[in-house]
Protein backbone atom coordinates (compact mmCIF):
# COMPACT_ATOMS: atom_id res chain seq x y z
CA UNK A 1 0.00 0.00 0.00
CA UNK A 2 0.96 3.60 -0.54
CA UNK A 3 1.09 5.12 2.96
CA UNK A 4 1.50 8.83 3.74
CA UNK A 5 2.37 10.12 7.20
CA UNK A 6 1.73 13.80 7.90
CA UNK A 7 3.32 16.21 10.39
CA UNK A 8 6.22 14.11 11.68
CA UNK A 9 7.95 17.36 12.66
CA UNK A 10 11.21 15.85 13.91
CA UNK A 11 11.41 12.86 11.53
CA UNK A 12 11.02 10.56 14.52
CA UNK A 13 8.71 7.77 13.40
CA UNK A 14 11.18 5.87 11.25
CA UNK A 15 13.47 5.58 14.30
CA UNK A 16 10.82 3.80 16.41
CA UNK A 17 10.93 0.00 16.70
CA UNK A 18 7.23 -0.20 15.77
CA UNK A 19 7.97 1.37 12.35
CA UNK A 20 9.12 -2.07 11.22
CA UNK A 21 5.47 -3.12 11.20
CA UNK A 22 5.14 -1.21 7.91
CA UNK A 23 7.98 -3.07 6.17
CA UNK A 24 7.07 -3.82 2.56
CA UNK A 25 4.76 -0.83 2.13
CA UNK A 26 5.48 2.30 0.08
CA UNK A 27 5.82 5.00 2.75
CA UNK A 28 6.14 8.77 2.39
CA UNK A 29 6.73 10.87 5.51
CA UNK A 30 6.13 14.63 5.56
CA UNK A 31 7.98 16.61 8.23
CA UNK A 32 6.45 20.04 7.70
CA UNK A 33 2.90 21.14 8.48
CA UNK A 34 0.58 22.02 5.59
CA UNK A 35 -3.11 22.84 5.83
CA UNK A 36 -3.67 24.33 2.38
CA UNK A 37 -6.07 22.00 0.58
CA UNK A 38 -4.45 22.18 -2.85
CA UNK A 39 -1.04 21.39 -1.36
CA UNK A 40 -2.47 18.43 0.56
CA UNK A 41 -4.17 17.10 -2.56
CA UNK A 42 -0.89 17.23 -4.43
CA UNK A 43 0.88 15.39 -1.62
CA UNK A 44 -1.81 12.78 -1.04
CA UNK A 45 -3.24 12.18 -4.53
CA UNK A 46 -1.87 8.61 -4.73
CA UNK A 47 -2.24 7.79 -1.04
CA UNK A 48 -4.20 4.71 -0.03
CA UNK A 49 -3.58 4.92 3.73
CA UNK A 50 -3.16 8.17 5.62
CA UNK A 51 -1.48 8.27 9.04
CA UNK A 52 -2.25 11.27 11.24
CA UNK A 53 -0.38 12.45 14.31
CA UNK A 54 -3.20 13.43 16.63
CA UNK A 55 -5.05 16.58 15.50
CA UNK A 56 -2.27 18.41 13.69
CA UNK A 57 -3.98 18.46 10.27
CA UNK A 58 -7.70 18.95 9.66
CA UNK A 59 -9.15 16.41 7.23
CA UNK A 60 -12.35 17.92 5.83
CA UNK A 61 -14.89 16.66 3.31
CA UNK A 62 -13.73 18.93 0.50
CA UNK A 63 -10.23 17.46 0.78
CA UNK A 64 -11.45 13.86 1.00
CA UNK A 65 -13.54 14.25 -2.16
CA UNK A 66 -10.32 15.03 -4.06
CA UNK A 67 -8.49 11.91 -2.84
CA UNK A 68 -10.07 9.05 -4.84
CA UNK A 69 -7.40 6.51 -3.86
CA UNK A 70 -7.71 6.98 -0.10
CA UNK A 71 -9.14 3.94 1.66
CA UNK A 72 -7.98 4.16 5.29
CA UNK A 73 -7.16 6.85 7.84
CA UNK A 74 -5.27 5.44 10.81
CA UNK A 75 -4.65 7.42 13.99
CA UNK A 76 -5.10 7.27 17.77
CA UNK A 77 -7.44 9.06 20.18
CA UNK A 78 -10.25 11.52 19.44
CA UNK A 79 -11.02 12.77 15.94
CA UNK A 80 -12.72 16.20 15.88
CA UNK A 81 -10.33 17.12 13.03
CA UNK A 82 -11.72 14.43 10.71
CA UNK A 83 -15.01 14.71 8.79
CA UNK A 84 -16.31 11.27 9.74
CA UNK A 85 -19.57 11.68 7.83
CA UNK A 86 -17.66 12.42 4.62
CA UNK A 87 -15.38 9.44 5.21
CA UNK A 88 -18.38 7.14 5.58
CA UNK A 89 -20.08 8.59 2.50
CA UNK A 90 -16.93 8.18 0.43
CA UNK A 91 -16.14 4.67 1.67
CA UNK A 92 -13.05 5.61 3.70
CA UNK A 93 -12.43 3.64 6.89
CA UNK A 94 -11.29 5.59 9.96
CA UNK A 95 -9.45 3.48 12.52
CA UNK A 96 -8.63 5.07 15.87
CA UNK A 97 -7.84 3.26 19.10
CA UNK A 98 -9.49 5.27 21.89
CA UNK A 99 -7.20 3.72 24.58
CA UNK A 100 -9.88 4.13 27.26
CA UNK A 101 -7.89 2.07 29.76
CA UNK A 102 -4.42 3.51 29.17
CA UNK A 103 -3.56 6.98 30.53
CA UNK A 104 -0.98 9.16 28.83
CA UNK A 105 1.73 9.20 31.47
CA UNK A 106 3.66 11.59 29.22
CA UNK A 107 0.84 14.16 29.44
CA UNK A 108 0.51 13.64 33.20
CA UNK A 109 4.24 14.12 33.69
CA UNK A 110 4.28 17.28 31.58
CA UNK A 111 1.35 18.61 33.62
CA UNK A 112 3.37 18.16 36.77
CA UNK A 113 6.42 19.69 35.14
CA UNK A 114 4.37 22.77 34.28
CA UNK A 115 3.03 23.01 37.83
CA UNK A 116 6.55 22.99 39.26
CA UNK A 117 7.87 25.35 36.58
CA UNK A 118 5.12 27.91 37.17
CA UNK A 119 5.08 27.75 40.97
CA UNK A 120 8.86 28.07 41.24
CA UNK A 121 9.21 30.49 38.29
CA UNK A 122 11.77 28.19 36.66
CA UNK A 123 11.57 29.54 33.06
CA UNK A 124 11.58 33.16 34.25
CA UNK A 125 14.51 32.60 36.60
CA UNK A 126 16.47 30.83 33.88
CA UNK A 127 15.80 33.62 31.39
CA UNK A 128 16.90 36.23 33.93
CA UNK A 129 20.08 34.31 34.75
CA UNK A 130 20.99 34.23 31.07
CA UNK A 131 20.47 37.99 31.00
CA UNK A 132 22.92 38.50 33.87
CA UNK A 133 20.38 38.82 36.69
CA UNK A 134 20.32 36.87 39.96
CA UNK A 135 17.07 35.76 41.69
CA UNK A 136 14.31 37.88 40.20
CA UNK A 137 11.52 36.77 42.51
CA UNK A 138 10.23 34.39 45.18
CA UNK A 139 8.36 31.24 44.18
CA UNK A 140 5.89 29.02 46.02
CA UNK A 141 6.13 25.45 47.30
CA UNK A 142 3.41 22.83 46.81
CA UNK A 143 3.39 20.99 50.14
CA UNK A 144 0.19 21.72 52.05
CA UNK A 145 -1.43 23.55 49.13
CA UNK A 146 -4.74 22.47 47.58
CA UNK A 147 -4.61 20.83 44.15
CA UNK A 148 -7.88 20.83 42.21
CA UNK A 149 -8.36 18.24 39.49
CA UNK A 150 -11.16 19.22 37.10
CA UNK A 151 -12.13 16.01 35.31
CA UNK A 152 -11.32 12.72 37.01
CA UNK A 153 -10.47 10.55 34.02
CA UNK A 154 -7.41 8.60 32.94
CA UNK A 155 -4.92 11.46 33.17
CA UNK A 156 -6.63 13.32 36.00
CA UNK A 157 -6.28 10.25 38.24
CA UNK A 158 -2.53 10.08 37.59
CA UNK A 159 -2.01 13.79 38.28
CA UNK A 160 -4.05 13.47 41.48
CA UNK A 161 -1.67 10.72 42.59
CA UNK A 162 1.31 12.97 41.94
CA UNK A 163 -0.35 15.59 44.14
CA UNK A 164 -0.59 13.15 47.01
CA UNK A 165 3.11 12.33 46.60
CA UNK A 166 3.85 16.04 47.09
CA UNK A 167 1.69 16.10 50.24
CA UNK A 168 -0.92 18.37 48.66
CA UNK A 169 -4.58 18.37 49.58
CA UNK A 170 -6.26 16.96 46.47
CA UNK A 171 -9.83 18.00 45.63
CA UNK A 172 -11.84 16.77 42.64
CA UNK A 173 -14.57 18.41 40.55
CA UNK A 174 -16.15 16.51 37.68
CA UNK A 175 -19.40 15.00 36.44
CA UNK A 176 -21.39 12.96 38.97
CA UNK A 177 -20.08 9.52 38.00
CA UNK A 178 -16.47 10.70 38.17
CA UNK A 179 -17.04 12.36 41.54
CA UNK A 180 -18.38 9.08 42.88
CA UNK A 181 -15.28 7.27 41.59
CA UNK A 182 -12.99 9.90 43.12
CA UNK A 183 -14.65 9.47 46.50
CA UNK A 184 -14.33 5.70 46.20
CA UNK A 185 -10.61 6.23 45.52
CA UNK A 186 -10.31 8.25 48.72
CA UNK A 187 -10.24 11.79 47.36
CA UNK A 188 -12.19 14.77 48.62
CA UNK A 189 -14.70 16.35 46.25
CA UNK A 190 -15.64 20.01 46.13
CA UNK A 191 -19.04 21.06 47.44
CA UNK A 192 -19.66 23.08 44.28
CA UNK A 193 -17.94 24.34 41.17
CA UNK A 194 -17.85 27.82 42.70
CA UNK A 195 -16.15 26.54 45.86
CA UNK A 196 -13.69 24.52 43.77
CA UNK A 197 -12.43 27.57 41.87
CA UNK A 198 -12.41 29.82 44.93
CA UNK A 199 -10.41 27.55 47.26
CA UNK A 200 -7.85 25.67 45.14
CA UNK A 201 -4.26 26.88 44.90
CA UNK A 202 -3.61 24.91 41.71
CA UNK A 203 -6.29 23.79 39.25
CA UNK A 204 -5.46 21.35 36.45
CA UNK A 205 -7.90 20.64 33.62
CA UNK A 206 -8.32 17.03 32.47
CA UNK A 207 -11.39 16.64 30.24
CA UNK A 208 -12.05 15.60 26.68
CA UNK A 209 -13.28 18.37 24.42
CA UNK A 210 -16.82 17.92 23.08
CA UNK A 211 -19.89 20.13 22.89
CA UNK A 212 -20.77 19.64 26.56
CA UNK A 213 -17.29 20.69 27.75
CA UNK A 214 -16.54 23.48 25.27
CA UNK A 215 -16.18 26.68 27.33
CA UNK A 216 -16.95 24.80 30.54
CA UNK A 217 -14.46 27.03 32.40
CA UNK A 218 -15.99 30.50 32.28
CA UNK A 219 -14.71 33.99 32.97
CA UNK A 220 -16.71 33.91 36.22
CA UNK A 221 -14.94 30.71 37.28
CA UNK A 222 -11.52 32.23 36.69
CA UNK A 223 -12.47 35.44 38.49
CA UNK A 224 -13.15 33.39 41.64
CA UNK A 225 -9.58 32.07 41.76
CA UNK A 226 -7.07 33.43 44.25
CA UNK A 227 -4.54 36.01 43.12
CA UNK A 228 -1.86 33.50 44.13
CA UNK A 229 -3.47 30.56 42.30
CA UNK A 230 -2.30 28.71 39.19
CA UNK A 231 -4.43 27.20 36.42
CA UNK A 232 -2.89 24.51 34.22
CA UNK A 233 -4.26 23.33 30.88
CA UNK A 234 -2.67 20.40 29.07
CA UNK A 235 -6.02 19.15 27.71
CA UNK A 236 -7.63 21.51 25.18
CA UNK A 237 -7.68 25.31 25.00
CA UNK A 238 -11.37 25.33 24.08
CA UNK A 239 -12.32 24.02 27.53
CA UNK A 240 -11.85 27.63 28.64
CA UNK A 241 -14.22 30.32 27.36
CA UNK A 242 -12.63 32.16 24.43
CA UNK A 243 -10.27 34.96 25.55
CA UNK A 244 -11.33 34.48 29.19
CA UNK A 245 -7.91 33.27 30.32
CA UNK A 246 -5.98 36.21 28.91
CA UNK A 247 -8.40 38.68 30.50
CA UNK A 248 -8.37 36.87 33.85
CA UNK A 249 -4.58 36.89 34.02
CA UNK A 250 -4.53 40.61 33.26
CA UNK A 251 -6.86 41.24 36.19
CA UNK A 252 -4.83 39.03 38.53
CA UNK A 253 -7.31 36.22 39.17
CA UNK A 254 -5.76 33.72 38.84
CA UNK A 255 -2.24 34.98 39.32
CA UNK A 256 -0.57 32.41 37.07
CA UNK A 257 -1.21 30.00 34.22
CA UNK A 258 0.68 27.16 32.55
CA UNK A 259 -0.60 26.04 29.16
CA UNK A 260 0.36 23.46 26.55
CA UNK A 261 -2.66 23.95 24.26
CA UNK A 262 -4.05 26.83 22.19
CA UNK A 263 -7.18 27.81 20.26
CA UNK A 264 -5.32 27.57 16.93
CA UNK A 265 -2.22 25.45 16.49
CA UNK A 266 0.60 25.60 15.70
CA UNK A 267 1.30 28.94 17.38
CA UNK A 268 4.00 30.64 15.32
CA UNK A 269 3.12 34.26 16.09
CA UNK A 270 5.45 35.53 18.81
CA UNK A 271 2.94 38.27 19.65
CA UNK A 272 0.38 35.75 20.90
CA UNK A 273 -1.04 37.25 24.14
CA UNK A 274 -0.07 34.32 26.38
CA UNK A 275 3.53 34.41 25.15
CA UNK A 276 3.83 38.06 26.19
CA UNK A 277 2.75 37.51 29.81
CA UNK A 278 5.40 37.07 32.51
CA UNK A 279 2.97 35.13 34.71
CA UNK A 280 2.41 32.40 32.11
CA UNK A 281 4.51 29.34 31.29
CA UNK A 282 3.87 28.11 27.74
CA UNK A 283 4.88 24.93 25.92
CA UNK A 284 4.03 23.97 22.29
CA UNK A 285 1.54 21.10 22.80
CA UNK A 286 4.16 18.57 23.85
CA UNK A 287 2.08 16.70 26.42
CA UNK A 288 2.16 13.48 24.42
CA UNK A 289 5.42 14.17 22.58
CA UNK A 290 7.91 11.70 24.03
CA UNK A 291 9.63 8.72 22.44
CA UNK A 292 7.98 6.31 24.87
CA UNK A 293 4.52 7.71 24.18
CA UNK A 294 5.13 7.69 20.44
CA UNK A 295 6.06 4.01 20.57
CA UNK A 296 2.80 3.23 22.38
CA UNK A 297 0.66 5.35 20.07
CA UNK A 298 2.18 4.29 16.77
CA UNK A 299 2.21 0.62 17.68
CA UNK A 300 -1.58 0.97 17.76
CA UNK A 301 -1.69 3.05 14.57
CA UNK A 302 0.52 0.69 12.59
CA UNK A 303 -1.30 -2.38 13.95
CA UNK A 304 -4.50 -0.89 12.53
CA UNK A 305 -2.85 -0.67 9.12
CA UNK A 306 -1.64 -4.26 9.34
CA UNK A 307 -5.15 -5.38 10.32
CA UNK A 308 -6.67 -3.51 7.36
CA UNK A 309 -4.11 -4.97 4.95
CA UNK A 310 -5.05 -8.41 6.26
CA UNK A 311 -8.70 -7.82 5.51
CA UNK A 312 -9.81 -7.28 9.11
CA UNK A 313 -10.06 -3.54 9.88
CA UNK A 314 -9.78 -2.76 13.61
CA UNK A 315 -10.93 0.07 15.88
CA UNK A 316 -13.27 1.35 13.16
CA UNK A 317 -15.03 4.48 14.38
CA UNK A 318 -17.40 4.64 11.38
CA UNK A 319 -18.64 1.02 11.12
CA UNK A 320 -21.33 1.90 8.57
CA UNK A 321 -18.52 2.35 6.04
CA UNK A 322 -17.87 -1.40 6.05
CA UNK A 323 -20.98 -1.86 3.87
CA UNK A 324 -19.64 0.61 1.32
CA UNK A 325 -15.86 0.65 1.66
CA UNK A 326 -13.64 1.47 -1.30
Q: Are 78 and 207 in contact (CB under 8 A)?
A: no
Reply yes or no on whether 81 is catalytic: no
Sequence-ordered list of residues with C-beta below 8 angstroms from that of 291, at least 6 positions apart, any chain: 12, 16
Task: Identify the active-site residue in 42, 194, 263, 265.
Answer: 265
Q: Is 293 a catalytic residue?
A: no
Any catalytic annotation for residue 265? yes
Q: Which of these is catalytic: 154, 206, 236, 241? A: 236
Query: Rounded to whole angstroms, how far apart are CA atoms 115 and 150?
Result: 15
Sequence-ordered list of residues with C-beta below 8 angstroms from that of 29, at least 6 positions apart, any chain = 4, 5, 8, 11, 13, 14
- Interior/surface letters 120-144, b for 16+ CB within 10 angstroms, e for the rest: bbebbbeeeeeeeeeeeeeeeebee
Q: List residues with catalytic annotation.
A: 236, 265, 285
Amino acid sequence: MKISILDDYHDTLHTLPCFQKLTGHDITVWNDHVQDEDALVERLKDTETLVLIRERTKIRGSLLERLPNLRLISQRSVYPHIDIEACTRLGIIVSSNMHADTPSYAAAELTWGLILAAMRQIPQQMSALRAGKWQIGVGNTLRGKTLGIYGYGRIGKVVAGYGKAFNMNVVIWARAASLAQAQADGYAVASSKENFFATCDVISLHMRLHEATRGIVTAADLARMKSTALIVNTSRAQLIETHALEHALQTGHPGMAAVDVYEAEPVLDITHPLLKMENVVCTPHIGYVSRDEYEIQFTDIFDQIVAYAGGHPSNVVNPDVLRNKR
